[in-house]
A = this chain, B = another copy of it.
Amino acid sequence: MAYNEQYGRYVGMVEETLQALLPEGGAVGPKDGEIPEHLRASMRYSLLAGGKRVRPVLLLAACEMLDGNLEEARVPAAALEMIHTYSLIHDDLPGMDDDDYRRGRPTNHRVYGVGHAILAGDGLLNYAYECLLQNALSYPLNLEGHVKAAAAMAGCAGVRGMIAGQSLDLLSEHMEPDADRLAYIHKHKTADLMTAPLLAAGHIAGADGEKMKALARFGACVGLAFQIDDDLLDLEGDAKLLGKQTGMDAKRGKMTWPSLVGAEAAREKAHALWRQAEEALACFGEKAWFLHAFAVALATREK
């Protein structure tokens, strides 16, 4: 199957699952057992705003590569996108990055107000775990695999993972650039949530220790390279094409690789990481064709 066709198939599964887990509501008043309309709308606004679905596609692709049951991975993939989306909604809030646009549209709090943007984010984070737990219970023969997958995702998204990176990122604004600190921020703020789908897929599909290590390595390299490219896009990219303001990192005094080592050296660092990501796939042989192509596609996205 061609890469684009396969990518479309995975994205289709993700969109379908997200729609099923958070369907449009009727225009009724608050009713027990349903998500209230305003909350539901604010969650859907950010969750169903398109985007590349990088993380859930990684989860589905890794699961299929490992001969896992793709159906079992649907909800975990969707849950991971909920976690990613909540982090964007909260990141955009006043007091955090205070952004007005995201994916070419006004940010959540600009449409629903700060209070509901906080709740929409909390709601997506909590609902991710609610869905993960219910999904785990619906596969009693693979319950342990699913709980391990959810635990790995929680670890990557949590206070030693993504949230740790966000915390340091926030504290480091207007600080002197520092390579150790920046490496920590990128590893946790971005790479951990790219590693999460690979670990989750490994647990769902019952991968062995060696394969888990290779998956983690692939995720970490892709995540770090992705973040460096993102910083380069913010520095040099086209705001219209990206659907968001550029030049914001400099304006906010954010620590980035280009600000630390210059754009050219940052580009080289990203190239090296993309290469390491591909090398990590060696132990999966031919079966890794999609993840190979995926890394290439991400590495060459419009800059």
Chain A residues with CB under 8 Å of chain B are: 29-30, 32-36, 38-40, 43, 86-87, 90, 93-96, 109, 113-119, 121-123, 125-127, 129-130, 133-134, 136-137, 140, 143-144, 147-148, 150-151, 154-155, 157-160, 163-164, 166-168, 170-171, 180-181, 184, 187
Q: Are B163 and A126 in contact (CB under 8 A)?
A: yes
Of B32, B116, B123, B150, the residue contacting A184 (CB under 8 A) is B32
Q: Are B133 and A151 in contact (CB under 8 A)?
A: yes
Q: Are A143 and B147 in contact (CB under 8 A)?
A: yes
Q: Which 10 A-B pairs have the closest CB atoms?
A: A95-B114, A130-B154, A133-B151, A39-B167, A123-B159, A129-B129, A126-B158, A95-B115, A35-B159, A123-B163
Q: Are A122 and B123 in contact (CB under 8 A)?
A: no
CB distance from A36 to the nearest CB of B (A): 5
Q: Are B164 and A35 in contact (CB under 8 A)?
A: yes
Copies of the protein in its oligomer: 2
By a CB distance below 8 angstroms, the chain B residues around A86 are: 122
Chain A interface, DSSP helix/strand/loop, else mixed: helix
Give 16 pairs: A residue, B residue, CB < 8 Å, sorted on A: A29-B180, A30-B184, A34-B160, A39-B159, A39-B163, A90-B119, A95-B113, A118-B118, A125-B125, A126-B157, A126-B158, A130-B158, A133-B150, A133-B151, A137-B151, A147-B147
